[in-house]
Amino acid sequence: MILIKTEEEIELLRQSNLLVSKTLATIAELIKPGISTLSLDTLAEEYIRDHGGTPGFLHYNGYPKTLCTSVNFQVVHGIPSECMLKEGDIVSVDCGVILNGYYGDSAYTFAIGNINERVAELLRVTKESLYKGIEMAIEGKRLGDLGYAIQNHCEKAGFSVVREMVGHGLGKNLHEAPEVPNYGSRGKGIMLKKGMVICIEPMINLGRKEIVQEKDGWTIRTADFKPSAHFEHAVAIGKGKADILSEFQFIEQAEAENAYLHHK
């Protein structure tokens, strides 16, 4: 069942998602070559708790950490570890919180130092495709319109769309109906209605679309070990215009001020 949120609930979801965005911005301030993904995880947990939230991913279905940190050919659900980030890496940082009983969920892929040009293009196109999907997140459109917009943009640039991992509804639960694929056919799928809240999260591969689950039971990687990018916004379906509840502006500002990040 798809839950329609009231305006009050959407404002609570906005607060949760803004806390996620600000947590990701603190990551953007400190991320650099030589830092471990585990230290970023510790930082994120402290920031969330200091601001009245609870980490949304920690112990969710047994997941052991606050963040998902997926490096290079890891697509999603990479577990933070002592592994150090290095010049030329990309890392998707996915973060969830619970605040006032509602979940926030957003992800951003960072380029550490100077990265390969084609990989930089993968990041740019994936992020653009997220906004192409958001343009379709309006009452009267269908999920297929949204998925098609993402798929078309990425495939035109020669990239591939992961099929098995999808976006989702968001509310008092982290994963609510409906599933939100990053591919589809225009005019097909569930009709979008004002008040639905969904997470749109393109997971786009440089090489083939196929993925594999690692032995840890969580980490998803590309089958061909080529890089993958991931960006995610929480969005309320609106009339004529989507309402983006998370905010990349804080992250982009911190990214621009961080001398160790590749400035596009």
pLDDT tens string 126-155: 999 999 999 999 999 999 999 999 999 999
Nearest by Cα to 167 from 156, 151, 153: 151
Give the pLDDT band (50/70/90) at residue 260.
confident
Residue type at position 154: C
Mean pLDDT to the nearest integer, 148-170: 98
Delineate the domains of the chain, giving CATH numbers in brackets: 7-257 (3.90.230.10)
CB atoms within 10 A of CB 154: 24
Nearest by Cα to 21 from 255, 245, 183: 245
Q: Residue 15: CB partners within 8 Å, gap ≥ 6?
A: 99, 100, 102, 104
> What beta strand segments (E) does the chain contain?
54-55, 67-71, 74-76, 90-99, 102-111, 160-161, 167-169, 176-180, 197-200, 203-205, 211-213, 220-222, 228-230, 233-236, 243-244
pLDDT digits (tens, 9 = 90+) for 73-111: 999 999 999 999 999 999 999 999 999 999 999 999 999
Give the pLDDT band (50/70/90) at residue 261.
confident
